[in-house]
Structure 1
Amino acid sequence: MKTKIFIGVLMGASLLSLAPLWAQGLDKIAEGAKKEGRVKVGLTVRWEEAGKPGAKKLVEVFQTRYPFLKVEYERVGGSRERERVLSELAAGKISYDVTVLSETQVPTALRANVVEKVDWKSLGVNPQHVHPDGFGVNYRSQLYGIAYNRKLVPDDVGKKLTWEDCAAPKWKKKVAMDSRPRHLEILWQPNVWGREKTLAHARQLAANETIFERDRTGAMTKLALGEYAIDCGSFYSTYYEQTRSGKAEPIGFTLAEPIPVNLGDVVFIPRGAPHLNGAKLWTVWSLSEEGQKLLDEVEGNGSPLIPGTQSAKPIKGKKAAWYEPQYRAKAEEILKEILEAVGLPIVR
């Protein structure tokens, strides 16, 4: 009897040793989260979008997976709300256990020492999603492409549009672009177009009287109505959502190569977060295959690093240009240079 027990113990120990170290670490975090009992999350995903569940579905599935942890969710949207979060943290107020900032806010947050450093890789998070400063993880990926009005631009032309076409004289006064053209920042990188080609392109955009829109969704609506022929630097996820809702019929979309890819916002745990284990558990789960496919389902922003997501399918076998961390950190500086090359753009 003792021999059987001893063998059983050995077998159990062997099985444990075969389990990935990150899984063992996650089990310990789950035990800690049980004691905490709750976690407060402040991210950019809307609770519901056009009557369909967004973050609501993420929370429901997470709590099915971890029923011992109650999730309180609030949306932290654009730059103003993110500035509020950063200001509160600098003043010692911790409103969330997990929250989000833009890449350009990372240096300020690090200097203010308001970030809980976590070894995310050791917990099984894909290294490409881990911020190089140990700040947090990247979440809500974006692919940038060219949307076009199919009545004004036939599919046989639209499907072959290139980034250079966005500044071609034949499309003068017919092109829209976001007032913060992040896709140009990615093309600016030395291993993609480089600085000189990107700035020359920006000057040609000005000569073409390109219209810069503040609202991406609004620009897509105007495109559908025929106000523009082309919208350069559109989010693929926006087009995907319109396709799902049946509103994309007059709009075509092409992912011109190189396809600019941004792995998204920076999600992190504030230093001193009261529910540290719950925060880690939520973050690791949100970057798991299950979490990313759910995000993909509700927003179309799943990671292109996970096969089968809406971001992974269209870039398979194509040339992609990834927004590298060292240049994301200089995003505002790069954008300023691009907009200066444009001159005084027409912004609506």
Structure 2
Amino acid sequence: MSEPTERSTGVVLAVDFGGTKVESALVDENGTLLEGSRFRHPTGRDRSADELAEAVSSVCRSSLQALDEGLTIRGIGIGAAGPIDREKGLVSPVNLQVWRDFPLRDTVAAVAREFGHSAPAVLRLDGLCITLAENWVGAGRGRDNMMGMIVSTGVGGGVISGGSVVAGFSGNAGHIGQLEVPGFTDVDAPCTLEEIAAGPHTVAWAQARGFEGETGEDLARAYAAKDRIAVAAVTRSGTAIGRAIASVSTLLDLEVVVIGGGFARVSPDLFDIIRTAIDRYSRFDYARRVEVLPTGLDTDGPLIGAAALVYRSV
């Protein structure tokens, strides 16, 4: 991956759109968010299509209003929950049914034009953005064969292979959360990794077995207290993640997988559970050799990755 080299007065308007929130910020060529430029707004299943569109426009306007005199917008990078249509700039998030083929790229670009900025806009999967961030300034820095994963409200991912981004025909390559992972539900019942291992699904599975908590944080506390149901729930989700990584690593010969997202912090044990599953379900030594690391970034990661779309010309 090429590194940005020249320091300039141009910054990137970075946008991260997901199932619970949309955020925006101005990001410089070092991957640093400009102070006072980061804004967020809730999204969620209870919002209408117009409310989601206004949430996006609102945070972008706020970030652009924070642009210091003398700075320009050199580009717009947008990471979004998928599926996406890379060529047309459309999004159809799995967890937000009211948006189907929504023109997210053009919506953000239109807000930028309100402020006199006609910079090019790039839309990619949020999982690819977090992978770029980890490869640029995080735990996967300098690795040429890696996958980044988000385990949160949903499960997403992105891939770099041979030093190049793997985007796929439509821009949806790396969508590991939508892989079928058999053996965790009724026989022959279809079930994706996201439906097993995402935070809300893990909590729901535990609740169906008597767990009285309501959130991932509740589950984390119960796991730390060695609650039987919580331990079973986290073990189930970690095992599913490990099985999926074993399959992807077998296919792509990965060097490292970096995992972030709120639910990835449910317990440090999660990574041991994932590791055990990879070792068990990988048939070849090269697939077992894959490293699994926690994110090297804080909550800035998705926005840094969105900016990397511009700085690394993805």
TM-score by length of 2: 0.35
Query: Larger relative contact order (C-alpha < 8 A, sep ≥ 6)?
Result: 1
More helix by share: 1
TM-score by length of 1: 0.33
Mark the structure with the bigger radius of gyration.
Answer: 1
